[in-house]
Amino acid sequence: MGKIIVTGVAGFIGSHLTETLLQQGEEVIGIDEFNDYYDPMLKYKNIAHLNGARGFTLIEADIQFLDWHQLLEDVDVVYHQAAQAGVRASWGKGFASYTERNINATQILLEAAKDARNLKRLVFASSSSVYGDAETLPTHEEICPQPVSPYGITKLAGEFLCKLYHKNFGVPSVSLRYFTVYGPRQRPDMAFHKFFKSILQDEAIPIYGDGQQTREFTYVSDIIAANLAAAIAPAAVGEIFNIGGGSRVVLAEVLDTIEQIVGKPIKRNHIEKAMGDARHTAADISKAQKLLGYQPQVSLTEGLTKEWQWIKSLYS
């Protein structure tokens, strides 16, 4: 049996994915550069329990400086989760790290993948941010993407590269457009992590704009299930899939749910609308249901409760 590579192994999604793969008895090479976009200690914490686990190898390096030809020799599947994340930080001087980590790194990986004889699948982590302010809700994959953030543009470029390498060199790529992922190990720059942390420290939680924006929220275990399905479903090669959680909610309503979970009223601090934030997101997941057998399992209340438990243990 071939090996599996997970890039961004110490991140939110990469660490969960690797954990699941190891539980299934797979041999996993995890790659992460542990950059400081957020506290690297959190990343080391994410995979602390995997160190020394059977079948796990960690490579601490920048994707752009690895010998991919050698790495991919006996690899079956690559889950390319590594990216420069964050919509709001992608403006201004920070943009260079987005082009480096989301476009250049992906091209280097694809370039090596075209010569990798044993590679059966390359699963690319894309984002609903490629849609921007989509005219049709829920949004299906054929809608013309119109990103409203520089981040969304780099994710779309990554998708197009995957498509090109599939078309021209037969690289067996699949792109998954994640809709707002949450759960334990969620990045500290993401809304629910910020909300729960503020509540724990008895501070007001920051809300961009009027709180009437809607999001499709997807629990991390559903994202993992989608990745595993995308790696084996024969019809997935060369395709793009929306991966949503089946719960599209107004932010203000999410806050009510969070109040119920934490058992106390939340102080809210409304701040200016953020540049690059889409007003509404909603996923049409019928394609993933049909071709991947994807079906989200975790409700928002259940998922938020799990994230709250994790946040409490993280900051206790």
Number of structural domains (the chain) is 1
Q: Is 45 within a domain?
A: yes
Q: Is 208 within a domain?
A: no
Q: Is 48 within a domain?
A: yes
Predicted TM-score (pTM) of this structure: 0.97
Q: Identify the domain containing residue 44 by its residue range.
A: 3-183+219-245+282-297
Residue 76 CA to residue 63 CA, distance in Å, equals 18
Give the Cα-Cα-Cα angle 151, 157, 163 (nearest 5 degrees): 145
Residue keyed to tokens 């797979």: 26
Residue 247, pLDDT score = 84
Q: Is 174 within a domain?
A: yes
- CB 294 within 8 Å of CB 225: yes
Q: How far apart are the first and last CA of the chain?
A: 42
Q: Is 270 within a domain?
A: no
Q: Is 191 within a domain?
A: no
- CB 72 within 8 Å of CB 10: no
Residue 238, pLDDT score = 98
Say whether 294 is catalytic.
Answer: no
Give the tens place of pLDDT for each residue, 255-264.
Answer: 999 999 999 9
Give the tens place of pLDDT for each residue, 171-223.
Answer: 999 999 999 999 999 999 999 999 999 999 999 999 999 999 999 999 999 99
- CB 28 within 8 Å of CB 22: yes
Residue 290, pLDDT score = 98
Q: Is 193 within a domain?
A: no
Residue 1, pLDDT score = 67
Question: In this structure, what CATH number is given to the domain that contains residue 171?
Answer: 3.40.50.720
- CB 129 within 8 Å of CB 144: no
User: Which regions of the chain are under pLDDT 70?
Assistant: 1
Residue 254 CA to residue 250 CA, distance in Å, equals 7
- Given 37, 98, 151, 182, the catalytic residue: 151
Q: Is 137 within a domain?
A: yes
